[in-house]
Amino acid sequence: MTRQNNIITQAIDEALKRSDGDSIAALRYLTKRFHLQVRRSDHIIPSADFFKARLSYDPNSGDLRWNSSGRSDRIGEIAGSKKGRYSQIGIEGHYYYSHRIIWLMMTGEWPTKVIDHINGDPRDNRWCNLRLATKADNMRNRGAWKHKKSGLPCGSIR
């Protein structure tokens, strides 16, 4: 563990030297060097390679399966929990939505917008069913609202 700590400490020192003490510039340097993606200043998203080393994705079925998870008995099993509306996968103490991991694995970039399930089924993660959308586009795709008598979204005219 001390060898890893030394490598990390040296990398941080090098990043701060290169950036003249500017912590944001140092963070940018470290994320490029270690192939990380920064979504916000307080949260670092692992790279596509990080997820590809642990998961395999079948674009036709939409299944993410474990390649390795620290437990050999889970290899080949479908990854994630189906609790709630969307499938989530826990890796190294962090939880990620399956469809966002899939987008990263397929495009190489963490999604900057909402991932819309075209057919409205949040558990259907086939590649042909996922698209990058604005929140407004995603809301339009929700279908009829159950609590309205007309079944139409708010503001719709018959």
Quick one: pLDDT at residue 102?
A: 96
Digits of tens for pLDDT over the chain (158 positions)?
566 667 777 777 777 777 776 776 777 777 777 766 655 545 678 889 889 989 999 999 999 999 876 667 788 899 988 777 889 998 877 889 999 999 999 999 999 889 999 998 888 999 999 999 988 887 877 766 566 555 555 555 55
> Which DSSP category does 153 fall into?
P
Quick one: pLDDT at residue 41?
A: 47
Residues 69/54, Cβ–Cβ less than 8 Å: yes
Distance separating alpha carbons of residues 149 and 85, to the nearest angstrom: 25
Reported pTM = 0.65
Residue 109's nearest CA partner among 80, 87, 132, 140 is 132
How many angstroms separate the Cα of 5 from the Cα of each of 1, 9, 12, 34?
6, 6, 10, 15
The amino acid that residue 12 corresponds to is I
Distance separating alpha carbons of residues 79 and 67, to the nearest angstrom: 10
The amino acid that residue 154 corresponds to is C
The amino acid that residue 1 corresponds to is M
Quick one: pLDDT at residue 36?
A: 66
